[in-house]
Amino acid sequence: MQIFDKTNPEEYRAASERYEQMPFHRCGKSGILLPAISLGLWHNFGYVDNLENGRNILKKAFDLGITHFDLANNYGPPYGSAEANFGTILKRDFLPYRDELFISSKAGYDMWPGPYGNHGSRKYLIASLDQSLKRMGLEYVDLFYHHRPDPDTPLEETMAALDHIVRSGKALYVGISNYNAEDTAKAISLLKEMGTPCLIHQAKYSMFERWVEDQLLDTLGNAGAGLIAFSPLAQGMLTDRYIQGIPTDSRAAKKSGHLTSEAVQEMLPKIKTLHTIAEARGQKLSQMAIAWLLKDKRVTSVLIGASSVAQLEENLKALDNKDFSAEELSKIEAILERV
């Protein structure tokens, strides 16, 4: 039951029809349903960004049926600022809806100086989650991930920390991210022995990054765990942004970041051909790329980012046409396999 301040006409009230169009998928064999599209706060929610813009994106996302907001300890920049800003917005707009939200965070990458602010030790994971909860103003997160494998910490220690986190009430579920198929199977087995199932694996997956299809999806499917795909648009390559080349204000034109102009130039022939198929489907390339991921029932959700309400709404239109003909899939496969 939502409790509102009747004296505040500016208080956010979520759209009454918010659950009418968003499909929800069961996460593996768990009791959790996640929206087909989830919202990640990796970019655009740090202290360097406009807080009101982030607030508008989150409100529109929830109005459109997105219940899952994904964060991590080091999202920003600077580190921690995405969680802090999210906490501000949560307190202002979303507290009446807390039980309708599925909030996740992670730890595993560099966060604070010294030997205890990185990787996968019990000390780091538990301390990091405590910090995250304070920044967001939460008593618990719905899901907590180990963000990446740690080759130097025994997997038993890392999984035991995740088990402890659930038993302490600081997270309802746990998951892993960026693990290969072999280590995923080991992690799932360890957690199962402890009585704390691995809910989901968050992995980079797109038309241009398909490593999860080599054993990982089968491993998760057999274990009854879900998969949520991040970077579904390959850092922007699977959009209309680069059809005519590399704009000077684009991510690829910048010297720093996760996308280079060389990578775009290499993939440009495929981008243009995929764009043609998307046009024939009545979609933008970004929308087709998201829909393509959702064709596999083992993919619980696709995690998108958004720099504006308009971009969010555009990407959600992927759900208007999720079906592919055998001919379309064959053409797409031929393009993706082309050297």
Q: What is the 3-state secondary structure (H, E, C) of the chain?
A: CCCCCCCCCCCCCCCCCCCCCCCEEECCCCCCEEECEEEECCCCCCCCCCHHHHHHHHHHHHHCCCCEEECCCCCCCCCCHHHHHHHHHHHHHHHHHHHHCEEEEEECCCCCCCCCCCCCCHHHHHHHHHHHHHHHCCCCEEEEEECCCCCCCCHHHHHHHHHHHHHCCCEEEEEEECCCHHHHHHHHHHHHHHCCCEEEEEEECECCECHHHCCHHHHHHHHCCEEEEECCCHHHCCCHHHCCCCCCCCHHHCCCCCCCHHHHHHHHHHHHHHHHHHHHCCCCHHHHHHHHHHCCCCEEEEEECCCCHHHHHHHHHHHHCCCCCHHHHHHHHHHHHCC
Give percent of the chain with pLDDT exceeding 90: 89
Mean pLDDT of 36-52: 98
Asked if residue 17 is part of any domain, the answer here is: no
Q: Which of 69, 129, 133, 57 is nearest to 100 (CA)?
A: 69
Count the domains in the chain: 1
- 252 — pLDDT class (breaks 50, 70, 90): low
By C-alpha distance, which of 300, 301, 291, 299 is closest to 329? 291
The predicted structure's pLDDT at residue 339: 46
For residue 8, is it within any domain? no
Percent of the chain with pLDDT over 70: 94
**Is pLDDT of 6 > 70?**
no
Domain housing 95: 24-243+288-322
- Cα 114 from chain centroid (whole Å): 28
Residue 259 and residue 290: Cα distance in Å, rounded?
Answer: 19
Assigned domain for 33 exists: yes
Residue 53: predicted pLDDT: 98
pLDDT reported for residue 231: 97
pLDDT digits (tens, 9 = 90+) for 134-172: 999 999 999 999 999 999 999 999 999 999 999 999 999
CATH number at residue 81: 3.20.20.100
Q: Is the pLDDT of residue 256 over 60?
A: no
Q: Is residue 88 assigned to a domain?
A: yes
Is the distance from CB of 309 to CB of 57 less than 8 angstroms?
yes
**pLDDT value at position 66?**
99
| Domain annotation covers residue 41 | yes
Q: How far apart are CA 227 and CA 28, in angstroms?
A: 8
Question: Mean pLDDT throughout 176-181?
Answer: 98
- Quick check: 39 pLDDT over 60? yes
User: Does position 5 have pLDDT exceeding 90, yes or no?
Assistant: no
pLDDT at 199: 98
Q: Do 177 and 183 meet the contact criterion of CB atoms below 8 Å apart? A: no
pLDDT for residue 263 is more than 80: yes
Answer yes or no: is 331 within a domain: no
* Alpha carbons 35 and 226: distance in angstroms, whole number: 12
- pTM here? 0.95
146 belongs to a structural domain = yes
Which of the pair, 4 or 297, is modelled with greater confidence? 297
Please give the mean pLDDT across all residues of the chain: 95
In this predicted structure, what is the pLDDT of residue 259? 81
Q: Is residue 276 part of a domain?
A: no
